[in-house]
């Protein structure tokens, strides 16, 4: 570029990713070279649209500025990696010309090995699987992160979802083991962990302490190494003790002194303290009580296994009392739903999904509840019920499968199919004009296609057994493999007019069961083939 001139170059990488950019520059003393990194381009209202759209849009985001000293072959690189799809270079020269001699990008991320796969007769499902895996990779570095472009923080809520994806696809437990320890190390003097850690600021979301117990339980079920559970279970018990004084006379949890965050609800999201809902008279919540109940049961599972039976039983007894209180205060016989608070002012997918998932709603009413909180396609609810975010749909999906409606899962993914039109290359944080284009908490369908459609799930702690209960929906074929500590478990499926054929390949040292339409068949190492009549 000549002296006293300006120029702009916009580079579309076609795929959002994380990396270290590097620029080689000669000459140009007095020049200013600004590099802007953007997940997507913005219109004049600062709204995103089709992520492929460039016309009448501009890059807004993190910026690095390089000031050349006039020497030859100077290399400029930031001291930390950046995340982008669009990279914009703005150059303004002074009295000397400048030459941009080259650009390199060193992609970075945690070195997961991609062992699993999902391929089917539906190309959109395959695309959903791949986008989710890319989203996980973009947001996994020295820790898991909610968003590698924005906060770059390891949050409990996000990490629990990310860990399931990584376990199923790579089988690598190191990053989740590190995260469980990190959260345990963050515990404050009152006995509550930080919601995001490592972090230089205080950020306590007590509900995330309960979800941390759930994340520990997930790990305990999927990995044979229980060392991380042994050293963190006493801290999990401190979290439960932290909650114990916050049980009100009606048996439900009161509003506690921390941020009672559960999920972002609404577009734009409701005010920070508007959800979850607390009853004005008693200041109690059905939703947070359900989260507490789930953590008590999950802790008890691990405590029984580790020889702490009296404590486990005490936690089960407390969970039982909570269940009774939720049924008494929160069940609305007229609407046939659980309310979010005892005043029955608010109803959400969240509360009803957890009531099903944690068996407060018994089998007799679980399927009816699901029908009342989810439409025919996608995760959106009927009018009058607050919707889960993409993130909390992880719990909603599991509740639907728990209710015996696993064949509906593929229909729920219509929500992710709808994200094809804006041409996302990683999954966004939220609906509408989302802030973040790469939020790993929205990537759980990658795990769901393996664990719910192919149906590959641990059936005993440490993945000591496998349970394969497929839910192929209307797929004609699929071929899926999931990582386990014993090796890959593979499921191949084909449907014709009157038969359904499954070919299941098991590793040598893993026993399990194949479950189809209420019938259970034992699995042996090697290949197991089942051909069943279509119903």
Look at residue 266 in the predicted model and tell me its pLDDT. Answer: 84
- Distance from C-alpha of 377 to C-alpha of 473, rounded to nearest angstrom: 13
State which CATH number among 3.40.50.300, 3.40.50.1820, 1.50.10.10, 2.60.40.10 fits the domain covering 247-405.
1.50.10.10
3-state class of 492 per DSSP?
A: strand
Question: What residues does CATH 2.60.120.260 cover in the chain?
Answer: 6-107
**505 beta partners:** 490, 527
Distances (CA, A) of 295 to 105, 154, 312, 528: 43, 20, 12, 37
CB atoms within 10 A of CB 22: 14
Look at residue 365 in the predicted model and tell me its pLDDT. Answer: 96
Question: Are 138 and 83 within 8 A, CB to CB?
Answer: yes
CB atoms within 10 A of CB 527: 11
Topology adopted by domain 6-107? Jelly Rolls (2.60.120)
Question: Are 290 and 327 within 8 A, CB to CB?
Answer: no
Give me the half-sphere count of Cα atoms (radius 13 Å) on the Cβ side of residue 310. Answer: 0
The tens-digit pLDDT sequence of the chain (535 residues) is: 999 999 999 999 999 999 999 999 999 999 999 999 999 999 999 999 999 999 899 999 999 999 999 999 999 999 999 999 999 999 999 999 999 999 999 999 999 999 999 999 999 999 999 999 999 999 999 999 999 999 999 999 999 999 999 999 999 999 999 999 999 999 999 999 999 999 999 999 999 999 999 999 999 999 999 999 999 999 999 999 999 999 999 999 999 988 999 999 987 788 888 899 999 999 999 999 999 999 999 999 999 999 999 999 999 999 999 999 999 999 999 999 999 999 999 999 999 999 999 999 999 999 999 999 999 889 999 999 999 999 999 999 999 999 999 999 999 999 999 998 899 999 999 998 899 999 999 999 999 999 999 999 999 999 999 999 999 999 999 999 999 999 999 999 999 988 999 999 999 999 999 999 889 999 999 999 999 888 7
Q: Which two tokens stand for residue 448?
A: 């769901």
- Distance from C-alpha of 433 to C-alpha of 448, rounded to nearest angstrom: 26
Long-range (24+ apart) CB contacts under 8 A made by 374-377 are 374/349, 374/400, 374/408, 374/412, 376/411, 377/411, 377/412, 377/414
3-state class of 315 per DSSP?
A: helix
Contacts with 182 (C-beta within 8 Å, 6 or more apart), sequence order: 143, 154, 197, 198
Backbone phi and psi for residue 395, each to the nearest 5 degrees, phi listed first: -75, -40
Question: What residues does CATH 1.50.10.10 cover in the chain?
Answer: 247-405
Look at residue 81 in the predicted model and tell me its pLDDT. Answer: 96
3-state class of 328 per DSSP?
A: helix
Residue among 489, 490, 391, 404 nearest 445 (CA): 391
Look at residue 231 in the predicted model and tell me its pLDDT. Answer: 97
């Amino acid at each position: 570029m000549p002296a006293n001139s300006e120029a702009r170059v916009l580079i579309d990488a076609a795929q959002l990713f994380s990396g270290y950019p590097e620029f080689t520059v000669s000459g140009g003393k007095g020049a200013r070279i600004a590099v802007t990194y953007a997940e997507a381009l913005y219109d004049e209202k600062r709204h995103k649209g089709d992520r492929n759209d460039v016309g009448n849009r501009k890059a807004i985001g993190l910026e690095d500025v390089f000031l050349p000293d006039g020497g030859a072959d100077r290399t400029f690189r930031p001291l930390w990696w950046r995340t982008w799809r669009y990279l914009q270079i703005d150059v303004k020269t002074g009295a000397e010309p400048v030459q941009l001699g080259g650009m390199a990008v060193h992609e970075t991320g945690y070195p997961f090995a991609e062992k699993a796969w999902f391929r089917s007769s539906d190309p959109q499902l395959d695309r959903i699987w791949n986008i989710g895996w890319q989203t996980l990779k973009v947001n996994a570095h020295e820790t898991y992160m909610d968003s590698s472009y924005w906060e770059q923080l390891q949050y409990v809520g996000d990490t629990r979802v990310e860990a399931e994806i990584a376990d199923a696809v790579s089988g690598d437990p190191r990053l989740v083991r590190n995260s469980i320890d990190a959260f345990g190390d963050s515990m404050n003097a009152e006995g509550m962990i930080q919601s995001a850690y490592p972090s230089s600021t205080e950020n306590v979301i007590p509900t995330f302490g309960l979800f941390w117990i759930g994340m520990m339980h997930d790990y305990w079920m999927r990995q044979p190494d229980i060392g991380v559970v042994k050293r963190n279970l006493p801290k999990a018990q401190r979290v439960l003790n932290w909650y114990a004084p916050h049980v009100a006379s009606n048996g439900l949890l009161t509003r506690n002194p921390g941020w009672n965050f559960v999920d972002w609800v609404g577009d734009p999201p409701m005010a920070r303290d508007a959800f979850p809902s607390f009853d004005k008279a008693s200041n109690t919540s059905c939703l947070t009580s359900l989260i507490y109940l789930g953590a008590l049961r999950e802790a008890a599972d691990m405590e029984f296994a580790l020889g702490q039976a009296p404590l486990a039983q005490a936690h089960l007894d407390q969970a039982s009392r909570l269940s009774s209180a939720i049924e008494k205060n929160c069940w609305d016989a007229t609407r046939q739903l659980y309310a979010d608070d005892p005043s029955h002012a608010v109803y959400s997918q969240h509360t009803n999904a957890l009531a099903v998932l944690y068996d407060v709603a018994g089998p007799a009413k679980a399927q009816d509840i699901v029908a009342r909180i989810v439409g025919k396609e996608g995760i959106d609810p009927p009018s009058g019920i607050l919707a889960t975010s993409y993130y909390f749909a992880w719990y909603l999906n599991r509740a639907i499968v728990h209710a015996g409606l696993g064949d509906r899962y593929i229909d729920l993914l219509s929500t992710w199919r709808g994200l094809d039109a804006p041409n996302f290359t990683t999954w966004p944080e939220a609906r509408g004009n989302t802030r973040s284009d790469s939020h790993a908490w929205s990537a759980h369908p990658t795990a769901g296609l393996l664990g719910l459609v192919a149906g590959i799930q641990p059936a005993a702690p440490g993945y000591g057994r496998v349970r394969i209960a497929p839910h192929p929906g209307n797929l004609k074929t699929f071929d899926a493999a999931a990582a386990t500590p014993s090796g890959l478990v593979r499921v191949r499926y084909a449907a014709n007019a009157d038969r359904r054929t499954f070919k299941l390949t098991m590793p040598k040292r893993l026993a399990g069961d194949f479950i189809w339409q209420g019938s259970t068949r034992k699995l042996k190492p090697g290949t197991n083939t089942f051909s069943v009549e279509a119903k």
